């Protein structure tokens, strides 16, 4: 591919299509159908192709100019490509295009999939889940690379539609016998325990660091994870205690872990919002349907 023509200035599908028109009509003049502006455009586009590909496409010794053998071969290849893409698009008309949902790994795993999996088999829908960070979700929504985003309420934007999806507090998780057998814990009740937490500088992690620095008694941070599912995994496999948003509760219980609350985190609440581009949703019924499913059946 070192000598590939792709990326050369002057090469485009539009110019290749012009070559096909000229070949079909027999000459540039005939392809332009008497329109001097089109004739000038077609002449320029063919010349640009010749320059970019370093091929003689017109036999200028004839009048009118005829396509060279190289041009005929190129026209055949171009027509095959263009007609092939057209066939693909025609075949795809009857297939639902995927609805793209962008969210963090834990939100996709613990919220989106449980909501959609029970109903997706009965719907004419295709879903594409993308693991993205908050800033990536906002950018992807604005550039229309995804249809729906799920992220913290603090990221709500005036140019995107949004609806509240869920609110969660903070939970502590651990194996029975590792996590103290109390329904309501204080940070000091975890003294001497090993703690697993999310890396970074998010709201929850900042509270963990604040308590670790300001209180004499409490757990010792031993492991920093890149995702909340990792926190659950290490707690299920070892003797650690994890601090997570309440959206993880169901997954933690399924992993055989005890779940409780800690007094010092009761004031923290995380609200998730569903965000989408109103114009995109209005034009695509399948996007509206997925939004409705995620909102529990209510209209977007």
The pLDDT value given to residue 121? 80
Closest CA to 293 of 115, 160, 123, 121: 115
**Cα 229 to Cα 198: distance, rounded to the nearest angstrom:** 10
Q: 3-state SS string over 93-135?
A: CCCCCCEEEEECHHHHHHHHHHHHHHHHCCCCCCEEEEECCHH
The pLDDT value given to residue 299? 62
Tokens of 54: 């370093």
Extract the residue ranges of the chain whose pLDDT is less than 50.
Answer: 1-2
The pLDDT value given to residue 1? 44
Domains of the chain, start order: 13-92 (1.10.10.10), 99-166+271-294 (3.40.190.10), 170-268 (3.40.190.10)
Q: How many Cα atoms occupy the beta-carbon half-sphere of 149 within 13 Å?
A: 29
């Amino acid at each position: 591919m070192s000598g590939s023509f792709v990326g050369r200035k002057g090469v485009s599908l539009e110019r290749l299509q012009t070559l096909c028109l000229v070949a079909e009509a027999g000459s540039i003049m005939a392809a332009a159908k008497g329109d001097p502006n089109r004739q000038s455009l077609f002449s320029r586009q063919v010349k640009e192709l010749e320059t970019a590909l370093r091929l003689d496409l017109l036999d200028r010794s004839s009048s009118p100019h005829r396509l060279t053998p190289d041009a005929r071969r190129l026209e055949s290849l171009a027509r095959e490509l263009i007609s092939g893409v057209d066939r693909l698009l025609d075949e795809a008309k009857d297939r639902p295009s995927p609805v793209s949902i962008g969210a963090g790994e834990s939100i996709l795993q613990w919220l989106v999939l449980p909501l959609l999996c029970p109903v997706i088999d009965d719907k004419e829908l295709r879903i594409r889940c993308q693991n993205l960070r908050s800033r990536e979700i906002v950018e992807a929504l604005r550039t229309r690379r995804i249809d729906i985003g799920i992220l913290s309420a603090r990221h709500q934007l005036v140019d995107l539609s949004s609806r509240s999806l869920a609110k969660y507090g903070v939970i502590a998780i651990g194996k029975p016998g590792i996590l103290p057998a109390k329904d309501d814990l204080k940070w000091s009740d975890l003294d001497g325990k090993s703690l697993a937490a999310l890396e970074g500088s998010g709201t929850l992690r900042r509270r963990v660091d604040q308590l670790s620095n300001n209180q004499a008694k409490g757990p010792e941070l031993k492991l920093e994870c890149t995702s909340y599912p990792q926190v659950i995994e290490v707690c299920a496999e070892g003797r650690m205690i994890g601090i997570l948003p309440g959206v993880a509760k169901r997954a933690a219980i399924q992993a055989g872990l005890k779940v409780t609350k800690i007094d010092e985190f009761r004031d923290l609440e995380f609200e998730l919002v569903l965000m989408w581009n109103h114009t995109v949703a209005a034009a695509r019924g399948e996007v509206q349907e997925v939004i409705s499913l995620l909102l529990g059946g209510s209209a977007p």
